[in-house]
Amino acid sequence: MSLFRRLVERLKRSKKEEPKPEDVRIDEKAGTDASKPSMDFVPSSTAKSPPPTETLVTSAEELGIDADATMSMAKTAKIKPHTISEIVPGKELKRDDQGRIHIKIVFYGPSLSGKTTALRWLFANVRSLSKSKIIEISDELGRTTFFDFVPITASEKVVFDVFTVAGQRRHAQNRITVLRDADGIIFMADSRPESMNENLASMEELRIALGTDRLATMPIVISLNKRDLPNALPVNYMADLLDVEGFPIFPTIATEGKNLLRMFQRVLRDALIFKVGI
């Protein structure tokens, strides 16, 4: 058989093997080829492997974050770029009637990422916190609707005011209001693949609300929570998607307290240095 005939025969066979148009179904909702294995299924041998990036939404428009509305809420909350005096340690300090310096720390992140669980663990297990008082405002499901607030006395001269914000999207204005006058932030992300879009949305909101200036100068640490789950996304993968290179990152398990104290000590130390210079 000549080379030409062999090529023709091979071409005919390849055409026979091609799927007919009706054999390939497109899931319009997911935008994926339904003839391929579902991306929701992860074999047990590769349970910690991330899903393909095309299953995640990464633009602000698709995440449902209205930049103009968020900036308007930040303006209403009086979140402005740092003044020169604010970034000079010891220059502008918040003091109470006893002369104590107050430093504000905010847990930020999507709903059910573990912010309140982390604060409750710290409250129950750190001696200096257990002496203080926790104030909670919750909805009918037990979630935080505005904030959890715990004052922590680091010394007779310094008090840390620690807040967790409501992660539900309907509480955006309250959440952004709590950011006002923050001196340090713990961003708590949920390591489950199905929560990654909410992580991205929350981070986008935080970036817009703070603005480039405060984001670059304020002490911020990242908690990648729920690391005990079998389908937890890899740390590096989450860090890349969230674009948090340069920030301290702590893999945490809030229900067990894993890495919570180290993470908490880091943000308190950085905020103290940032505000007081010690």
Q: Note whether 200 and 58 are within 8 A (CB).
A: yes
The pLDDT, as a whole number, for residue 133 is 59
218: nearest Cα among 179, 161, 260: 179
Beta bridge partners of 165: 147
- Copy the structure tokens of residue 262: 């180290």
Superfamily of domain 63-275: P-loop containing nucleotide triphosphate hydrolases (3.40.50.300)
- Copy the structure tokens of residue 39: 């991306």
Strands 220-225 and 184-190, sheet pairing: parallel
The pLDDT, as a whole number, for residue 100 is 86
Name the packing angle between helices 260-275 and 115-125 (round to 10°).
90
The pLDDT, as a whole number, for residue 138 is 53
Give me the chain's average pLDDT, please. Answer: 75
The pLDDT, as a whole number, for residue 135 is 58
The pLDDT, as a whole number, for residue 39 is 32
CA dist., res. 198 & res. 63, Å (int): 8
Print burial letters for 206-228: b (CB count within 10 Å at least 16), e (below 16). bbbbbeeebeeebbbbbbbbbbe
In this prediction the pTM is 0.73
Q: Note whether 142 and 234 are within 8 A (CB).
A: no
118 φ/ψ sector (left φ>0, alpha ψ -120 to 50, else beta): alpha
CA dist., res. 63 & res. 274, Å (int): 32
The 8-class DSSP code of residue 45 comes to G
Neighbours of 50 (CB within 10 A): 20
The pLDDT, as a whole number, for residue 242 is 93
- Copy the structure tokens of residue 83: 């003044």
The pLDDT, as a whole number, for residue 61 is 56
- In the chain, count H helices and then E strands: 9, 10
Q: Please report, for the chain, the start and end positions of each structural domain, with discontinuous segments joined by +.
A: 63-275
* Cα 65 to chain centroid, rounded: 14
- Copy the structure tokens of residue 156: 């007779």
Question: Which segments of the chain have a pLDDT < 70?
Answer: 1-62, 128-149, 166-171, 278
Q: Hey, what amino acid is at 63?
A: L
Beta strands in the chain (DSSP E): 26-27, 32-33, 94-95, 101-108, 135-138, 144-153, 158-165, 184-190, 220-225, 249-251
